Structure 1
Amino acid sequence: MTKKPPNGTKLIHDPIREEMLDSFDEELELEIDDDRLDALTNEFADHTAEETIDRRVYFKELFRLQGELVKLQTWVQQHQLKVVVIFEGRDSAGKGGVIKRITQRLNPRVCRVAALPAPNERERTQWYFQRYVSHLPAGGEIVLFDRSWYNRAGVERVMGFCTEDDVEEFFRSVPEFERMLVRSGITLIKYWFSITDEEQYLRFMMRIHDPLKQWKLSPMDVESRSRWEQYTKAKEAMLERTHIQEAPWYLVEADDKKKARLNCIAHLLEQVPYQEIKREPVVLPPRVRNPEYSRGPIPPEMYVPSRY
């Protein structure tokens, strides 16, 4: 029989349990946001979106995979590995959603995201790969590139920000550049997120009508809709010219966001052989109390108002 705590007291594990639940709520908040956006999407579709994977299965698998990512992180730190993961795809393909789920439980000092803005005037005169090199990992680090040097083969080529000679030089250089990275000890993994024309249209319409997401839709994104076929040809050329044995491309079918997240994370975990490293148990030292210490008063105006 479970012994009840005295009146007015609380079991010590209750606040710990509440803290853990609050941590899981971070993912629930993201999913609530997804549901809100899905409802907006249905306004522009000729059918109601169906749940393609049971919600309980999705959460169970996501939390399991995130637990494995933590083990991978520890392995990378312990063995001073260097891991680079490239995420490419059309606008609104879901790259950011996958990156959020990968980094959500990890140490940002170990796993960080590189999302570079358009090059400035000085950077445009540099060796093309130069500004990306500074973001490469040191030992014990994982870097996720939310778009990468492959901008040259995609948006820069389609939008006319570079010449065809620039593109051809890129295609000649990038295999050697990536082989050099791999020879230096970097594990390089490249993902292309693939969505259909219809799915991109629905996601763009969703962003147009959602004030919380409108910032995601840049003038460049809008222009890309009219150049769908040009982007397709550019993507096909990119995959053909840069799919090399040392750093192959992996395609993620991304029309279903939840499946894409699970599939990508599960595949990523298979690309870096790792084992669970047992940690020494942590023992908190006793709290040291100084009888001469007394906490000074804090002016009331320094406190944030308790509105909730």
Structure 2
Amino acid sequence: MPELPEVEALAQHLREHAAGRTVSRIDVASLSVLKTVTPAWTELHGREVTGAARYGKHLDLVCGDLHLVVHLARAGWLRWADAMSATPPKPGKGPLALRVHLDSATGPGFDLTEAGTKKGLAVWIVRDPAEVPSIARLGPDALALGRAELGELLAGRTERLKTALTDQSLIAGIGNAYSDEIMHAAKLSPYATVGKLAPDALDRLADAIELILRGAVERSVGQAAARLKSEKRSGLRVHNRAGLPCPVCGDTVREISFADKAFQYCPTCQTGGKALADRRLSRLLK
């Protein structure tokens, strides 16, 4: 799933390559991705792209007073091309959900695609991003949180650390992969209760959020959209590395599975050498 660093890199790519261009045409290959009826997507035709923004893990293509807001969900992606095919795509064929042509039918633009059968890619066309329900519910952006703000946010809460870090209504932008990396860098257990973290643990957590996310943004911004996924994987130390040695201490990275997801951690770095019980309870990790 694209998280804060990748979505920020995509927003920067659109600022550099799409801003100043005109939306020539939008092709909708899957009507189910559109979560709004009015304004219609055709109202974007002829409008200049004036910028791009990020809200948590949402991407916003700004076209004057209209916004094309995208949530890429688990398997969605943005694919940029310097020249698009003028032939309209066939609805329901392949992973393509929506295509944006800029300047002309054969000019540059991008596709929104989604792999797999479980569809979650969502597109809204709104006059204010706050009209998107999932944006309206967002907590403060992860990169806007200092140590004091983080402490106030987590004080008295009873969630496990893994749950809290990935709760977008609490902290916006962190998903499954970077939460694993943050907890590893902070040397904290995924099962730690956030409201009981000691001051020094909160210090490490705040530093790790900044270190991991800033570092990932710096590696990602400027990369071509097609390379962002491999760039993300190359920077991971524990996520999706179960069975491999921890690059910090050499212990074997372990995995906990729940529902259709999993998270990884290092026992030596994070849990005092103890393997965590695979509880698989929805109350812990939703």
Fold match (TM-score > 0.5): no
Name whichever structure is richer in helix by fraction. Answer: 1
TM-score by length of 1: 0.27
Name whichever structure is richer in strand by fraction. Answer: 2
Greater relative contact order structure (CA < 8 Å, 6+ sep)? 1
TM-score by length of 2: 0.29
